[in-house]
Structure formats: C-alpha cells, structure tokens
Amino acid sequence: MITARDVAEKLGIAVSTVGRAMADDPRISAKTKAKVRKAAERMGYVGNNPARVMRGGSSKLIGLMIPDVANDFYGSVAQTLSTCFDREGYGLVLSLTGDDREREMRQIRELVGARVAGIILVPTARPKRESKRMLSQIAHIQFLRRHSALGQTWFGMDDSAVVKSATRYLIERGHRHIGYIGANDVISTGAARANGFRMAFSESAVAHHPELERHGVPTVEYGEAAAEDLLARARRVPSAIITGSIHITLGLIRYIERAKIKTPEQLSLIGFGEAPWFEWWRGGLTTIQPSAEDLATSCGLWFLEQVRKGKIEPLPAYASVTISKLAIRSSVAEPMMDRRRRID
Amino acid sequence: MITARDVAEKLGIAVSTVGRAMADDPRISAKTKAKVRKAAERMGYVGNNPARVMRGGSSKLIGLMIPDVANDFYGSVAQTLSTCFDREGYGLVLSLTGDDREREMRQIRELVGARVAGIILVPTARPKRESKRMLSQIAHIQFLRRHSALGQTWFGMDDSAVVKSATRYLIERGHRHIGYIGANDVISTGAARANGFRMAFSESAVAHHPELERHGVPTVEYGEAAAEDLLARARRVPSAIITGSIHITLGLIRYIERAKIKTPEQLSLIGFGEAPWFEWWRGGLTTIQPSAEDLATSCGLWFLEQVRKGKIEPLPAYASVTISKLAIRSSVAEPMMDRRRRID
DNA sequence: TTGAAAGCGCTAACAC
DNA sequence: GTGTTAGCGCTTTCAA
C-alpha cells in the first residue's frame, strides 16, 4: 500500500512536505500542494489512520453498542447515527451486545483496543465492574438506559411520562383491568416505564392491580410468553394491554396473531416503538412512539461536538430527554359492556 | 491510557516480555505470564490495535457497505455479520452508501484509510473509477449485487430463478396482465430479476406486455409512485403485481394502503423480502424470500476465512448463490372473472 | 527464558 | 517554504 514516503520519493521532496500538503498546511506553496495532490491521487495514496492515531490523533471511529440491530427502532438509530457521523468524517463501529454483560464487556474491550474516539451505548442491565472501569478511560455516553455508575452523560426519552399518559388514555376509555408487560426493573427504562404505569393509577383513583404486571427480559420470546400468561388468567382478565418495550410488543403481536384474538373487540392494545407497519396492522396499532431519529440525532450531534473538542473522560454531566408521543390509531376500544359490569 | 511499557516498568521487566506474555508466547515461563497478566488486568491495560496494525498486523475490523440499515433485510444482514465477526474477534464498521456513488467512494476511502482487513459491499449502480481502484488495494467481496469490474468474488441469490418461479405462480393461477416493479437494469440484481420475470412468459407461451414493467431506483418513494402509475392505466390494468426489491415492496404497500385497494380481491400481490409482519399483513403477504441470515452467514464465514489466512487482493474468484424461496401466503387469488373474460 | 533495539507511517518541533 | 528528526506503542529479529 502506498505511503507518504512513496509519494515523497517519487516527487523528490520530503515526507513532511507531503504530509503538510495533504493537510492543507498554510506554509506550503500552492504549487507544491497541487503537485503533491496530483501525485497522491495518481498513485492512489490514502493516509494511514492507525499511524495518525499512534501519533496522538483521534481515531475518527465511534463505537455504537446496542442490544441488536434487526428491528426498526435500533435500525433507525444506527442509520441516523451512521449518517450523522459520516458527514463529519467519522466511521461507526457497530457492536451488538445481545443484552449480555459478558459480550458487552468483550465488545468494550475491542472498542478500547481499537482506540475509538468514543462510545455510545445502551448498557445491559448490570454491566460488569470491568466494563465500568474500561469505560472510564474513554469518552462515552449512555443512550436510552442509564446507570449512574457509568457516568453522568445520558440521552434518553420521557419513559415514565409517556407510559403514564398512555395508561391514562386507557383508564379514561373505561378500562379497569389493564395489563402491562415490560422490561425488568434492573433495566433503567424498564423501571421508569413501569413506574409511569403505576402513577397513572395513583393519580386517577382507579385501583392498580399488581398481578396484571409482567416484567422480564425484553425479548420477543418473553413478550409472547407473558402475553399468553396474562390472558390465561381465570379472573381479572385484562381488557387492555400496554407494552413497555419494542421486542415485547412484537412478542405480544405474535401471540395475538397465533391465538387469533380479536383486537380491539376482545382486547385493546397499546404497543411500544415505531415501525412503518404499525400503521397498517389490523387498521392501525396505537403506540407509544419514541422518535428514534430525533433521539439519535441529538445524541449524535452532541457527542460529535464533545469528541471533536477532544474532550476526554469524564464528559460534562448532561441529560437530555426527548419527548415521545402517543400515536393514536385503532387498537383501543372501550371494554366490552358485559365484561365491564362483571368487573366493577 | 496504559501502555505495555507502563506494565513493564511497574514489573521491572522489558516491554517485549510483556508483549510476549500477553500473546501467550511459548518461550515465556508460566510464572512470568501469570505475573504480567495480573498486572495488566489490575492496571487496566488494553493493547493498542492501531499500533499493531502499524507493525504490519491486520486490523481486526471489517467494513460493511450497504445502501441503508433501517429495514428488516439489511438490518438482519448487519446483525448476522456483526455476530459472526464478533465470535472471531473482528469488529464491524458500518458504512451506508444511500446508493449514492459519491458517498460510496468517500466511504471506501474512509475504510481504506482505517486500514480495515476487508470490505463486504453492496455496490451502487455505477461505482466510480476511483472506487474501483481503491477496492483493488484491499480484500473485498461483493454482496447481492455484482460488477465484474469490482472483482470476481460474489455472494448473492438466485435472482432470476426465484422471480421466474413467482411469475409462473401467477400465470398458473390465471393472471395474464402482471405488473412488475423493480430496480433499474444498471443494478445487477435489477437486471437479473427483470429477466426472470420475462423468462416466465417466454417459457409459458403467455404474452408478455413490456408496458406493465416499471424500473427505477429501488426506494420506497419510487415503489409508491410506480404502483400508482401502473394502476392508473386505462387498459390492461394489471390484475397482479410482483416487486423486485424490498424498498419497492414497502412503497407498493404504502400505495395500496393509501388508495385503499382490496387485496387479493382487486389485486394480487407478490412482494420481495423478509419481514416478520409480512406474515400478518392482511392475512399474509406472499413474498419472494431471500434469507438474509443464510446469505450473510455464508458470506461472512467465507470472507473471514480469507481474511484470516491473510489473503490479499485479489481474493480467489468465487461465486455463491443462496437459494430463495417463495413464501406462499394469502395475497394472491385468481383474477376476477369479468376481468379475465375482458382480457383474453 | 528474557532483554535491547529497530522500524511500521505519520506529524510536529525544530532547523535552515 | 521546505527538510530533518524524534517518537507514538507495538512486535520481531537478534543477542545474551
């Protein structure tokens, strides 16, 4: 592979001159610059970033650690961030944790080893001590989920507030037995969203039934199983279900389709997340809708700014909350009369 | 950040010993290895990959260049490859081209600059000359689409065959006016799939109507516009439509939903791609289904093997075709009788 | 079994 | 305006 030295020798000048010309150093004459540029172009010279990094430069690479990328939400996040970074000449290293702390730790090690300029991460439920220590050596920012032990820099959404308003929406429509399926409390968003769910009841003087809550690992499989479990109840069968995670929403839908449950006649639904097809599913799935693009854009721009300023750990403490909306479509109806009578 | 020298000094030994111990060199005594490992662990030492690369090592980073990542197909591809690479200690650099050749060229330059070990790419319609030249310096493999000018290494699918069989499926069900919306012929998969469409007619002695074909850039917007255009015809309105791209399928569905067209009563449909919700959309969308996982897995494993063997350009000429299937669901019916009479 | 030293490609400090 | 040189952190001879 062609090096700056090759270009220099071909032109009979010094390597440093080549370097300066390529970096558009003001001390170099326009004539030399043109000469160097042309030769570099012709010879197919592309600067060696690892060498630059070793000299103390920043790596132009940013790590993104997310649970997975095969769904609309994280897909959009990756898409938005990659595009955002690309505009500033930064590349995106994609690390998938699978929500597994061991894998998370290995990935952090890889990223630190690659000397990325920074890391944006959706932390797992309980990051390992080693992960924390490694992160403390490198500029990083938490996305969506948050652990105070991982730093004070976080971009997230209004988890509690939006779930509360979705729950209130159901209560106002007459639902009294509302099921909730969400992530475990060890995940910060899981705790916040469940909390929003409960707050809606305490603020409305309608009884909250803890036995209608289900919490677990946010996967499609868990969502499907929890939905089945919740609807198999002998009494206080929920007339509506709210989900607090994208994967769980997919699992719930999978179950509803499998069990051929009529919505919203037999069951009202409020899903979580953002996918084009939610608009079409059975005439439209009402969802709690965080904006992946807004969230990722604000996070990406802010982070780039810090990285470019050469900010090292710790980054300034900063919390940004992106407001979500409740996209009202057709999956919520009033509960069936007979059932409501029986219940109240 | 802690270096090998720091560890060496703390232990009063030479850097080379530290390096060898970390690399599990057989010449180093077990005792020394243990000592070094423990110190490294305690001090939070993580080897500097850029430095290794400069020494001549490989970078443990592989570039993936795809048009976008915010859809189920490419999302799965990225997911599968990232997981596959991770197991072997390789990281994935995600570059999105947006199907734009300028952006593609810049991204290639970035990847070459980062000295990635190799590149897996879905090339744009007409890569720039400069892109070709840069790629010739680095191990790379084409994915899905293929340009002979970019090398002889390719992993793709049975584009022509599967579209042919899907078309035949419609013909056998009595459809005579079948619309096709696919990518431009400058994209290799676009040409191959359109070809399969035409072959189905020539093999079945049913007239092929070129005016029912639409070709353009494979985007949601184009798919939506082409669908509208195709269904606005005064005569020979298609009784069925096949799509030859994921994005175009999404655009077609968007139009069908917007125009409130009944499927399959008014129009039969065969989509392209793989998304969980295709199974549910209006009782099930029949689709041409390439397996993103299979495709990505075979490509990833083969490529890793080459990269690990330290293979440089040109990679051995190799073409692998992953077989797709036609997932038959409920979006195809026989054409309406009156229309069929009128047509024949 | 371990140490010393060279050198990968680049940039920045210091000449001239 | 351009050249010379040192050194980033690592691995790999070559010595011991």
State how beta strands A287-289 and A325-327 pair: antiparallel
Contact A120, A61 (CB under 8 A): no
- Determine which of B55, B73, B104, B110 to mutate to test the interface with A (most A C-beta atoms within 10 Å): B110
pLDDT in tens, A298-314: 999 999 999 988 877 78
Q: What is the pLDDT of residue A313?
A: 75
Is the minimum distance from the CB of B106 to strand D below 7 Å? no
* Strand intervals (E) in chain B: 61-66, 91-96, 118-121, 140-143, 153-157, 178-183, 213-216, 240-243, 268-272, 287-289, 318-322, 325-327
Contact B151, A58 (CB under 8 A): no
The reply to whether A331 touches chain B by the CB within 8 Å rule is: no
Contact B197, B242 (CB under 8 A): yes
Strand D: which bases are under 7 Å from protein Cβ?
A: 1-5, 7-13
Residue with tokens 């109806």, as numbered in its chain: A333
**Is B96 within 8 Å of A89 when comparing Cβ atoms?**
no
The residue of chain B nearest to residue A1, with distances taken between CA atoms, is B137
- DSSP string for B175-224: --SEEEEEE-TTSHHHHHHHHHHHHHHHTTTPPP-GGGEEEE--SHHHHH
Name residues 77-96 of chain A within 8 A of B (Cβ). Answer: 78-79, 82-83, 86, 89, 91-96
Round the average pLDDT of chain A to a whole number and report it.
95
Q: Between A72-87 and A292-308, two packed helices, what is the crossing angle to 10 degrees?
A: 30
Name residues 161-180 of chain B within 8 A of A (Cβ). Answer: none
List chain A residues with pLDDT less than 50. 338-344
Q: How far is A323 from chain B (nearest CA, A)?
A: 22
Strand C: which bases are under 7 Å from protein Cβ?
A: 1-5, 7-13
For residues A183 and A110, give the distance between their C-alpha atoms in angstroms, rounded to a whole number.
Answer: 28
Q: What is the pLDDT of residue A310?
A: 81
Interface residues, strand C, Cβ cutoff 7 Å:
A 1, 3-5, 15-16, 19, 22-23, 45, 47-48, 51-52, 54-57; B 12-17, 20, 27-29, 31-32, 51, 54-56
Task: Tell me phi and psi for residue A13, to 5 degrees.
Answer: -125, 180
Whether the CA torsion A180, A186, A192, A198 is positive or negative: it is positive
Cβ neighbours of B110 in A, within 8 Å:
60, 89, 91
pLDDT in tens, A111-164: 999 999 999 999 999 999 999 999 999 999 999 999 999 999 999 999 999 999
Residue nearest C2 (alpha carbon to C1') = B17
For residues B17 and B23, give the distance between their C-alpha atoms in angstroms, rounded to a whole number.
Answer: 10
Q: How far is A205 from chain B (nearest CA, A)?
A: 38
The reply to whether B111 touches chain A by the CB within 8 Å rule is: yes
For residues B141 and B180, give the distance between their C-alpha atoms in angstroms, rounded to a whole number.
Answer: 30
- Per-residue model confidence as pLDDT tens for chain B (344 residues): 999 999 999 999 999 999 999 999 999 999 999 999 999 999 999 999 999 999 988 999 999 999 999 999 999 999 999 999 999 999 999 999 999 999 999 999 999 999 999 999 999 999 999 999 999 999 999 999 999 999 999 999 999 999 999 999 999 999 999 999 999 999 999 999 999 999 999 999 899 999 999 999 999 999 999 999 999 998 999 999 999 999 999 999 999 999 999 999 999 999 999 999 999 999 999 999 999 999 999 999 999 999 988 877 789 999 999 999 999 999 999 997 554 444 44
pLDDT in tens, A216-233: 999 999 999 999 999 999
The C1' atom of D7 and the CA atom of B152 lie apart, in whole Å, by: 42
| Interface size, chain A vs chain B, as Cβ–Cβ contacts under 8 Å | 156
For residue A120, give the nearest of A308, A311, A304 by alpha carbon.
A304
| All structural domains of chain A | 4-47 (1.10.260.40), 61-157+292-322 (3.40.50.2300), 159-290 (3.40.50.2300)
Beta bridge partners of B140: B119
Residue nearest D2 (alpha carbon to C1') = A17
